[in-house]
Amino acid sequence: MGLFEAAGARVIDSPAGTARLDRAPEREDTSRHRPAEGWLRQLALAVDAAGVLLPVGLLCAVTQQPRPLLTSVLAGAAWLAVGASKNRYSREAAAGDDAALPVLRDWLTMLGVLAVVCVAARVEVSLKVCVLALVPCLALGVARRRLVRRYLVAVRRRAQALRRVLIVGEAGTVDVVLAELAHRTDHEYVVVGSCLVGEEPTDSAVAVRARLASDGNLPEAALDGETVLRCAADLDADLVFVAPGRQLSAARVRRLAWALHDGGRNLAILPGLIDVSQHRVRLAKAAGLTVMHIDPAARRGVPVMLKQITDWLGALLLLVLLSPVFAVVAAAIRLSSAGPVFYWQIRVGQDLRPFRMWKFRTMVVTADRMRAALDSSNEHDGAMFKIRRDPRVTPVGRLLRRFSLDELPQLFNVLAGHMSLVGPRPPLPEEVERYDGTELRRLSVKPGLTGLWQVSGRSDLSWDETVALDLSYVDNWSYTRDIGVLVRTVRAVVDGRGAY
């Protein structure tokens, strides 16, 4: 499978992914599936402009700053110019996962640009007033990106705003790419056909439109561009994905790129990386080669220090604020069933270190002894044990689990340094005994009180989906991502989906 096999890609059979492949837009109805680039870009420009012009103009006028209209126009122009220079109004930027950090960087850049412009234009304005007036555009920019991202995900799941893709590569590599694309429905790509290199059979249901010569030196290989262009035109494809491999050399890809660009078609290269965040990727040049550097996830430095401070202060603050909730829950447990208020289990933490994890008791006292008799009723695949209607759970315990209140005592584990506010789910020792090398990587960071698993469906997710989410967190960790998970946790707790 070439590069994708080397990257450790996994083929996942996903009903949601099958739906995405089955609902590929037909050629005669492509207009409604085109990305709504025009009006989204215009809306973004209008929102960003209004978010600067109005607050700056009004505040400068109220505080009697000189030339308020000119100041607001210069600020608006600087804000839009910074966004345009960093390609923030493109389709790719609109679909980005990180909303806050790029906007903050642009905002800081804009402050510097505006300072230079004001000096050059001889506009004297109070620094304090200017910065205060520009705060709304920062908040509005983050909100706008989040709303656009949410809108695009929603319409893509209805098979709209998609880009029709023709994929070129060897059969095994193409099968892996299709499996990964089929696993999610929040992206903009729908594969409508393939051009395979060589005669190797394919497992994919996507139509093979052409077969390219396996030897790049054969005369037939010179017709690669013509063949792919014809297939792209027949399928009305917006984009051509090329997956390089043993039979699709760099020189051959280069010739194909020339033909596609000369023919007015867009090209994207699939480097064979799975689940690598953009912030970890750096491009460089060396002797004509394009070198892609993959930075490791941060394990030390300022971001990690911020995480540790957030864990300690956040846990301490939550314990103080939620102390009345602790008292009410403790009373409810004691009055509703016999046994202690708290329950502890040995869980496995970072680097396979066991620790005692605390929870509010939600089951009968004999729950652990009843576990063996319930193994055959397990409703979860993989190494996790879950039963939707577990007979060991008390009525009060069911309510506590519904709103994740039983997890609150783990704040003490966070204070003790065993856990973090955000991280993978802490597993049981017997679960870890069944882990393979890939699953053990989940334990290279501290387990969390909440995490991607908890905000993405919890027990409704399959084991493969759970592992994939945890590995994505471990490999692509950032402080801003932790903050995003904490914000999403509030909605997940209220929703209660997958909590049982």
**Burial of 161 from C-beta contacts in 10 A (0-12 / 13-18 / 19+):** buried
pLDDT at 21: 44
H-state helical runs in 23-64: 37-62
Nearest-10 Cα torsion for 186, 425, 379, 466 = 30
Quickly list H helices, 88-170: 91-94, 100-121, 127-156
pLDDT for 373: 65
pLDDT at 458: 60
Spatial distance between the Cα atoms of 90 and 35, rounded to a whole number of angstroms: 11
The pLDDT score that the predictor gives to residue 293 is 87
300 CB-near residues (< 8 Å, 6+ apart)? none
Calpha distance 349→340 (Å, rounded): 25
pTM, whole model, 2 decimals?
A: 0.69
Q: What one-character DSSP code corresponds to residue 351?
A: G
Count of beta carbons in the 10 Å neighbourhood of residue 154:
12
Measured between alpha carbons, how far is 334 from 350 in angstroms, rounded to an integer? 33
Burial class (CB in 10 A: 0-12, 13-18, 19+), 186: middle
Which helix (H) or strand (E) segment holds residue 241: the answer is strand 239-243
Residues constituting the chain = 500
Helices (H), 394-478: 395-402, 410-416, 429-432, 437-440, 452-455, 463-475
Which residues, 6 or more positions from 92, have their beta carbon under 8 angstroms from its beta carbon? none
Q: Are 280 and 472 in contact (CB under 8 A)?
A: no
Give the pLDDT confidence score for residue 320 in this predicted structure: 94
Best CA proximity match to 209, nearest among 153, 168, 155, 252: 168
Burial of 355-372, coded b for 16+ CB within 10 Å and e otherwise, reads bebbbbbbbbeebeeeee
Residue 337's pLDDT is 83
E strand spans, 264-312? 266-269, 281-286, 289-294
Residue 228 burial (CB count, 10 A): 25
pLDDT in tens, the chain (500 residues): 334 433 333 333 333 333 344 444 444 344 444 445 667 788 888 888 888 888 888 888 888 888 888 888 888 888 889 888 888 877 666 655 566 778 888 888 888 888 888 888 888 888 888 888 888 888 888 888 888 888 887 887 777 778 899 999 898 888 888 888 887 777 888 899 999 988 888 888 888 888 888 876 677 667 788 889 999 999 988 899 998 888 888 888 888 899 899 988 889 998 888 778 877 888 888 887 788 888 888 888 888 999 999 999 999 999 999 999 999 999 999 888 888 999 899 999 999 999 999 999 988 887 777 666 666 565 555 566 666 677 788 888 888 888 888 899 999 999 999 999 999 989 999 889 888 888 899 899 999 999 887 787 665 677 777 888 888 899 888 888 888 888 888 777 766 554 54
Q: Are 463 and 411 in contact (CB under 8 A)?
A: no
Residue 36 burial (CB < 10 Å; 0-12/13-18/19+)?
middle
